[in-house]
Structure 1
Amino acid sequence: MSGAGTATLAVIGAGPKAIAVAAKAAELRAMGVDVPDVVVIERSGVGANWQAVGGWTDGQHRLGTSPEKDVGFPYRSTLVPRRNAELDERMTRHSWQAYLIASAQFAEWVDRGRPAPTHSGWSRYLRWVADNVGMTVLADEVVGVDVRDDRWALSTTRQTVQADGLMITGPGQAHRCILPHDPRVLSIAQFWSRAAGRELIAADRVAVIGGGETAASMLNELFRHRVSTITVISPQVTLFTRGEGFFENTLFSDPTDWTSLTLAERRDAFARTDRGVFSARVQDALLADDRIRHLRGRVAHAVARDDRIRLTLSSNRSGEALETVHGFDLVIDGSGADAMWFTPLLRQQARDLLELGLGAPLAGDVLEESIGVDLAVSGVTPKLFLPGLAGLMQGPGFPNLSCLGLLSDRVLGARYPRRADADEITRRTDEHQPVR
């Protein structure tokens, strides 16, 4: 429950961002610092998207980011003058290394050369942190977002949660699909479900839509199945390798100079290091497999015809629009995360509030350019934190795992309107306990 005058921050999704904020809030509270009460609403479980149950992975593929970039990284807190070193020391209790030591895995991990954990291994770390800090998780699903009396009102399947701030996390639904009712077209979730079965996927011509890490993980899995050719469809001119050197990584860990770049320079940096690119590890695997092909274009239309899935691709070449049609036996829609997945949840008053603050109709590019230093939409009260859309304006590490410690600083350092009394969050007694 929220005490008198204590703000409440509601978070949709119990993933790394929620856990990073909850962990730092817990340590700040232990230091006697006034911070919001963090309440996380999660329908599946802590770290669900890193497990097979979330639909985004089978849990067995390797984490693309170094695990040392954990919930406290980069350990440069700025919230408590003259006590930030103490806060950083407290956060090391929730580090990846601390987890390995607590679970008697540290020596083996070092001896094996510090390998990247599997997705399911990363989810076990996240659950360990959530348990350690007593993160409050409501096992429920948000079905509507509204505004009442200058607070967020989140309608779930069983209750209403009121909060002074709202942070929305997660990549959206893994069940999105361009042709949802044809068994020859698989969503991300359907692909991982099929891949986890005992029978290997068998097809002559397979298409994978998408050029990012979501598609890359599926390509890694497809290598072991009985497929003749795999065509990767993406709008890029080729399959680019993600920049992973010191200077590129620094952009993600330390966004100090990011705001001094022009928008064009920032978009160029994204194109080279984050969006629509494969990690070097995946590219090495692609080079070794002669079944891989690439088609440039965006899927404009999909239809089942003549025992095949026909995809119409649109592209722009030499300044002219061009459409081509290609047939496949199996299509996997790996177009990836959707940072705007939450918009159907917005009730009319919430949508009006956002559009009034934005001064424009609600759209992804408008929201991206409105994200302030605190990772919230500028000009909107109550606070709406959208770290998944913060990359363009605040730094490329905020939408992913690259600077969770900085993310928690920005969110917890935001200013909330003072209230004389905080309304209680209505929830059942048994829902006070963290989800296991």
Structure 2
Amino acid sequence: MNPAPRRTLAIIGAGPKAVAVAAKAAELQGMGVDVPDVVAIERNTVAANWQAVGGWTDGQHRLGTSPEKDVGFPYRSSLVPRRNAELDERMTRHSWQSYLIASAQFAEWVDRGRPAPTHWGWSRYLRWVADRVGMSLITGEVERISVDGQRWALVTGGQTVHADGVMITGPGQAQRSILPHDPRVLSIAQFWQRAARNELIVAERVAVIGGGETAASMLNELFRHRVSTITVISPQVTLFTRGESFFENTLFSDPTDWSSLTMAERRDALARTDRGVFSARVQDALLADDRIRHLRGRVAHAVALEERIRLTLSTNRGGERLETVHGFDLVIDGSGADSMWFLPLFSQDARDLLELGLRRPLTGDALQESIGHDLAVCGVEPKLFLPGLAGLTQGPGFPNLSCLGLLSDRVLGSRYPDAAPDDSIRSTRRSDEHQPVR
């Protein structure tokens, strides 16, 4: 009898989540544990979104999460009975501290008070881990995801990658904006491109759309530019500060009790700690700058008129919808990542498969509410892992950097269906034939 074929997990994006899963899989394979081969598909480079090339930063701003929440955090593995301590010890080889020691930076980092690294510094750490574990990487952009028998088929360039499971990561494209062809409206990518070139913005009235960390990073950058007023536009009643005490942080690193909360309680916790909130560090900077203003509302319409960008804001006040118009010299669309950016990639047969598993139309709410313990969409085979949508059902740490080690446990511990006969699966290159990261 032929041995069962090795399974393949394809990850779209080569950021922290992909690196964490690849590192955990490499250590498990080193322990003789059967886990899928991991291959990442990335259009730029490892950790691109933490560098200027990714369009989400200029690389010079500080990481909002402690770097000690690295690819193995919280180091509480539960995949291998009686050997989990060994697995955690193996993962410490890829920790933030190990990276600093290997690069002769540890003593200086401690002496400086353990500062948060820049985004560029964080990307260097992730690339170091990816290189150490020989993460398989395909350079290219996924153009289509379809179903081929009992596997996914991902088309990228002239190559088709077949996988038993797909994990989708990343915030999507940073190039979108409400008026994409007007130079007075900047997308996230356009803003950071200018920052990376040290081009100062000179304007009287600037608007930043968005109340989350993406917008917060932009405000942090705008402080040094020559602007008279900066208006933050968000649907929240004010600019809330992210909870960063022990009790809030525990929700991210240990979601054991998350499932015992009602959906209303979970949504409330997410609103207070993760979505549409600024870090305490950014809020302190805002308090010291009297140019900052806040406007509550959602942008319903945008038009260029009389040498200004006119934004129509819609708000709900007292049960009535109110619309107001405001003019700005420059608008920066920092409304944040699109958690559903990947949907256009799915072919019709893949969409049909998802709707069949969901038993309802394919929407963002339907996907969020269907994410199971392994961070995959319940009822859908082959496996589709969506950690970016797992906050509501599994805990607020999974969409971000707060529990990468736990994320990798969940994904690699997933149970796959029995393998199909060899003749029902079109052959493809084994992931160990892909070029490792260098």
TM-score, normalised on structure 1? Answer: 0.97
Residues 404-423 of structure 1: CA deviation (Å, up to 9, x unaligned): 00000000000112325476
CA apart distance, 1:341: 0.5
The aligned counterpart of 1:382 is: 382
Matching of residue 266 in structure 1 with residue 266 in structure 2: yes
Residues 152-180 of structure 1: CA deviation (Å, up to 9, x unaligned): 00011120000000000000000010100
Q: Is the 8 A contact 1:5 1:418 kept in 2?
A: no
Looking at structure 2, the residues matched to 215 and 139 of structure 1 have their Cα atoms a distance apart, in angstroms, of: 29
Looking at structure 2, the residues matched to 424 and 257 of structure 1 have their Cα atoms a distance apart, in angstroms, of: 43
Matching of residue 299 in structure 1 with residue 299 in structure 2: yes
Q: Secondary structure at the match of 1:369?
A: helix
The aligned counterpart of 2:74 is: 74
The aligned counterpart of 2:196 is: 196
Deviant stretches of 4+, over 4 Å: 420-424
Looking at structure 2, the residues matched to 407 and 4 of structure 1 have their Cα atoms a distance apart, in angstroms, of: 26
The aligned counterpart of 2:239 is: 239
Which of 416, 421, 433 aligns to 2:435? It is: 433
The aligned counterpart of 2:328 is: 328
Residues 345-387 of structure 1: CA deviation (Å, up to 9, x unaligned): 0000000000111111111111000000000000000000000
The aligned counterpart of 2:362 is: 362
Looking at structure 1, the residues matched to 365 and 255 of structure 2 have their Cα atoms a distance apart, in angstroms, of: 20
Amino acid of the residue matched to residue 101 of structure 1?
A: I
Amino acid of the residue matched to residue 428 of structure 2?
A: I
Amino acid of the residue matched to residue 48 of structure 2?
A: A
Looking at structure 1, the residues matched to 240 and 54 of structure 2 have their Cα atoms a distance apart, in angstroms, of: 28
Q: Is the 8 A contact 2:358 2:367 kept in 1?
A: yes
Which stretches in structure 2 are left out of the alignment for 5+ residues?
none
Matching of residue 220 in structure 1 with residue 220 in structure 2: yes
Looking at structure 2, the residues matched to 18 and 191 of structure 1 have their Cα atoms a distance apart, in angstroms, of: 27
CA apart distance, 1:428: 11
Amino acid of the residue matched to residue 321 of structure 2?
A: A
Q: Secondary structure at the match of 2:309?
A: strand
Q: Secondary structure at the match of 2:143?
A: strand
The aligned counterpart of 2:138 is: 138
Looking at structure 1, the residues matched to 436 and 204 of structure 2 have their Cα atoms a distance apart, in angstroms, of: 46
More off after superposition, 368-377 vs 355-364? 355-364
- Give runs of aligned pairs for residues 37-436 of structure 1, distance below 5 A: 37-419=37-419, 421=422, 424-426=427-429, 432-436=434-438
RMSD over equivalenced CA pairs, Å: 1.3
CA apart distance, 1:8: 0.6
Q: Secondary structure at the match of 1:416?
A: coil
Q: Is the 8 A contact 1:153 1:163 kept in 2?
A: yes
Looking at structure 1, the residues matched to 346 and 183 of structure 2 have their Cα atoms a distance apart, in angstroms, of: 32
Q: Secondary structure at the match of 1:68?
A: coil
Q: Is the 8 A contact 1:229 1:293 kept in 2?
A: yes
Amino acid of the residue matched to residue 308 of structure 1?
A: R
Which stretches in structure 1 are left out of the alignment for 5+ residues?
none
Q: How many residues in Structure 1 have an aligned counterpart in Structure 2?
A: 433
Looking at structure 2, the residues matched to 31 and 428 of structure 1 have their Cα atoms a distance apart, in angstroms, of: 19
Amino acid of the residue matched to residue 64 of structure 2?
A: G
Looking at structure 2, the residues matched to 76 and 183 of structure 1 have their Cα atoms a distance apart, in angstroms, of: 49
Q: Secondary structure at the match of 2:375?
A: coil
Looking at structure 1, the residues matched to 414 and 427 of structure 2 have their Cα atoms a distance apart, in angstroms, of: 22
Residues 71-108 of structure 1: CA deviation (Å, up to 9, x unaligned): 00000000000000000000000000000000000000
Q: Is the 8 A contact 2:38 2:431 kept in 1?
A: no
Looking at structure 1, the residues matched to 389 and 20 of structure 2 have their Cα atoms a distance apart, in angstroms, of: 18
- Percent of aligned pairs with the same residue? 83
Amino acid of the residue matched to residue 6 of structure 2?
A: T
Q: Is the 8 A contact 2:151 2:382 kept in 1?
A: yes
CA apart distance, 1:257: 0.1
Q: Is the 8 A contact 2:389 2:399 kept in 1?
A: yes
CA apart distance, 1:424: 4.3
Amino acid of the residue matched to residue 256 of structure 2?
A: T
Amino acid of the residue matched to residue 413 of structure 1?
A: G
TM-score, normalised on structure 2? Answer: 0.97
Q: Is the 8 A contact 2:200 2:226 kept in 1?
A: yes
Looking at structure 2, the residues matched to 147 and 113 of structure 1 have their Cα atoms a distance apart, in angstroms, of: 51
Q: Secondary structure at the match of 2:251?
A: helix
Q: Is the 8 A contact 1:51 1:58 kept in 2?
A: yes
Q: Is the 8 A contact 2:51 2:119 kept in 1?
A: yes
CA apart distance, 1:425: 3.0
Q: Secondary structure at the match of 1:418?
A: coil
